[in-house]
């Protein structure tokens, strides 16, 4: 909503620009709010563990090396997602993967166009040409061909 003060500020900025004076910097960003992890009320007294996949932990030095756990460690509430049997964490970041995917499909498309237009030979013969506009009149004309009517066959 535009208020009188914001309208006056905008007109003041426009006037300063026209006059060639220095324009005060307008703030174009939001105020950063420090991230504070909230305590989950559903956990009760259970410890709130960080959201880190077990696949990112070092592979050696555990009581259970397959699950990367020590005896007595608390289990995360999202163990099925963050455990070793959860979805794999991506090795390549999504932007790089998208760039590689785009490059691969561009190469496939370029190869297909090369095959279609450079490797396909020309026709070995010239298409047949008829005189008098393709013999339209001799063949009965474009709209002159009678339509087969099944009702006439029944009579």
Verify that 81 and 95 share a domain, yes or no.
no
Sort residue 68 into left (φ over 0), alpha (ψ -120 to 50) or beta.
Answer: left
Domain carrying residue 69: 48-89
Sort residue 55 into left (φ over 0), alpha (ψ -120 to 50) or beta.
Answer: alpha
pTM for the predicted model, two decimal places: 0.44
The predicted pLDDT at position 31 comes to 78
Indicate the number of domains in the chain: 2
Q: What's the chain's Rg over C-alpha atoms?
A: 38
Verify that 100 and 85 share a domain, yes or no.
no
Q: Is residue 25 part of a domain?
A: no
pLDDT at 147 over 80: no
Runs of H (alpha helix) within the chain: 4-19, 79-82, 94-114, 131-135, 150-154
Verify that 80 and 102 share a domain, yes or no.
no
**CA separation for the pair 65, 42 (Å, rounded):** 30
Per-residue confidence band for 143, with pLDDT thresholds at 50, 70 and 90: low
Q: Is residue 24 part of a domain?
A: no
The average pLDDT across 12-33 equals: 65
Verify that 55 and 83 share a domain, yes or no.
yes
Verify that 85 and 61 share a domain, yes or no.
yes
């Amino acid at each position: 909503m535009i208020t009188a003060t914001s309208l006056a500020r905008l007109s003041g900025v426009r006037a300063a620009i026209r006059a060639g004076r220095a324009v005060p910097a307008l703030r174009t960003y939001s105020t950063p709010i420090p991230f504070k992890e909230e305590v989950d009320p559903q956990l009760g007294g259970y410890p709130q563990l960080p959201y880190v996949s077990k696949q990112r932990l070092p592979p050696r030095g555990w009581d259970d090396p397959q699950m990367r756990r020590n005896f007595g460690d608390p289990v995360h509430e999202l163990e099925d997602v963050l455990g070793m049997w959860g979805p794999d964490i991506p090795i390549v970041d999504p932007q790089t993967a998208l760039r590689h995917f785009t490059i691969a499909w561009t190469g496939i498309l370029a190869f297909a166009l090369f095959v279609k237009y450079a490797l396909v030979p020309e026709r070995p013969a010239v298409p047949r040409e008829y005189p008098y506009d393709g013999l339209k009149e001799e063949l009965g004309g474009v709209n002159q061909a009678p339509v087969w009517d099944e009702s006439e066959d029944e009579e």
